[in-house]
Amino acid sequence: MLKLFRHLKPFTIPVIAILALVFLQTQADLYLPTLMSDIINNGVMKGNTTLIWRLGALMLIVAAAGGIFATISSYLSSRVAMGFGRDIRTKVFRQVTGYSLHEFDKLGTSTLITRTTNDITQVQMVLIMILRMMVMAPMMMIGGIIMAGQEDAGLTWVLVVAIPVLIAIIVILAMKGLPLFKVMQTKIDRMNLVVREKLTGIRVIRAFNRDAHERKRFEDANMDLTDNYIKVNRIMAFMMPAIMLVMNLTTLAILWFGIIRIDNGAMQVGSLMAFIQYTMQILFSMIMLSMMFIMVPRASAAAVRINEVLGLIPEINDPERPDASCPTGRGYVEFRDVKFSYHGAEQPALNGISFNAKPGEVTAIVGSTGSGKTSLVNLIPRFYDVDSGTVLVDGVDVREMTQECLRAKIGFVPQKALLFTGTIAENIRFGRPDASDEEVRHAAETAQATEFIDTMEGGYAHEISQGGSNVSGGQKQRLSIARALIRKPEIYVFDDSFSALDFKTDANLRAALKSETTEATVLIVAQRVGTVMDADRIIVLDEGRIAGMGTHRELLESCGVYREIVSSQLSEEEIA
């Protein structure tokens, strides 16, 4: 947690002010019992009305000052903790947005959400308590012991017995509770994962009648978390009665022996009352510390998880000395003996890949499922880095270009079409925010999307729900294609982006794309041979290697893998 608190540096001055205010508040709280003792011993017992009024007025002033100090320090503590949480959330979000896909694969989406929300909230709450309780409690306890000893040193032996007993109770309960707090965040992660899968996969779950199974998964995760909370709360439920019992017995012992000392003339009534108040301050300080011992471990576990996110260095970074400007070519793409593997994989996903794609040409990539088609195109915008070999754009290694420069050249349509909440026009403008209404309409027309946009309520102002759940798969693909077209990039990458389209729409879209991409490099990943038969170059992948390269006619004659793919989809008449 201390590592995370290094980010408190911008709040140094407010933190110092809080510490000063807490110190002054503690001094005021410690001074009040002494004033009360003087009023009783020297005012009430001796009938000195003037002294009673004077010390009473001073008590009111000290109490008011302590209240003001407490209010200001509480306000500043809340402001510092909320500002700290805001800054950490911002840093975590910025760090995550810089991750490559490898980091996302390693951590997982559900845990990243939990760390950005729940974990940071835990640290915020503990920071407030640290600035208030954890700073005040030691000062109050030490100061209380000193002041109590000054009132009557003979009674301090009661504290010598009570304090170790209280410490023993707190330590025993903390040892039982700490392991439960440490696993709390992991169990929250698990429940969030189940909930997220349930909500995002609701169509599949209902289609296969797996609602009962998913409810069981959620109930298991929920009960696991609930059982953990119940165990913790049982410990907490035992802690407070045990502490209160010790406090009440301590008070009873002080009253018993204090009255004996008063009868013997060794102690005054005011001193006994002040001693009791100091004892309460000492014991309540220990209760505050015990609460911190319970909350800090959970926040510590959360801080470790946050630090893991902040400390995970992205594999893909901009070069230290990038070129002063982006390459001035028109989107020439070249692969030179590229090898690529996913983390933990026994075999490379791609091996020995070499080809080039030129502006004005359409390069298609086909192959069986798992042959490496998507892995190949993901290397062009540098979603992953190659193990060996080189991917070049306009003659420059993509690792020598800034990611912003590289991706500005590319219009990418992913395999799984994704839309964002907002209007249709806003989703298309995601590709180029400054695009005019006419450009939005033109991109939609080229993508064959106007036929359904015009039928929707509001047209281009129609609201898209989260993830595009209120449009069909084919409509999502066409809007994703329009989003790429509006960029007017130098390189178009279509990763199986026509799979949800009917044959007529597919043919019309490809015909419309020809006029829009005459000067650009186009790479198309496709499962349907009919989509790529007229491509200038077809690359056939088989188990991560190039099995053949050429036109449709050339591959029919020279590549057995391609012939198998074609024969599985087309009739003899269509092949001929």
Sorting pLDDT into bands at 50, 70 and 90, what band is 149? confident
pTM above 0.75, yes or no: no
**Residues in contact with 409: Cβ distance below 8 Å, sequence separation at least 6, in sequence order:** 326, 331, 393, 394, 489, 490, 491
**What six digits make up the tokens of 243?**
């502490």
Q: Which residue segments constitute the domains of the chain, with CATH numbers given?
A: 4-311 (1.20.1560.10), 333-409+489-575 (3.40.50.300), 420-482 (no CATH)
What is the residue type of 303? A
* 66-80, 226-240, 289-303, range with greatest mean pLDDT: 66-80
Residue 492, strand partner residues: 411, 522
Per-residue pLDDT of 15-27, as tens digits, reads 999 999 999 999 9
Check whether 200 has a pLDDT greater than 70.
yes
* 167-171, 214-218, 463-467, 514-518, range with greatest mean pLDDT: 214-218
Torsion angles phi and psi, residue 268, rounded to 5: -100, 160
pLDDT of residue 18: 92
* Average of per-residue pLDDT across 29-45: 85
- Output helix, strand, coil percentages for the chain, rounded to the nearest 5: 65, 10, 25
Reduced to 3 states (helix: H, G, I; strand: E, B; else coil), residue 439 is helix
3-state secondary structure string across 351-410: EEEEEEECCCCEEEEEECCCCCHHHHHHCCCCCCCCCEEEEEECCEEHHHCCHHHHHHCE
Q: How far apart are CA 240 and CA 232, in angstroms?
A: 13
* Average of per-residue pLDDT across 273-298: 82
Sorting pLDDT into bands at 50, 70 and 90, what band is 178? confident
Check whether 177 has a pLDDT greater than 80.
no
Q: How far apart are CA 70 and CA 53, in angstroms?
A: 25
Reduced to 3 states (helix: H, G, I; strand: E, B; else coil), residue 422 is strand
Q: How far apart are CA 474 and CA 498, in angstroms?
A: 8
Per-residue pLDDT of 388-402, as tens digits, reads 999 999 888 888 888
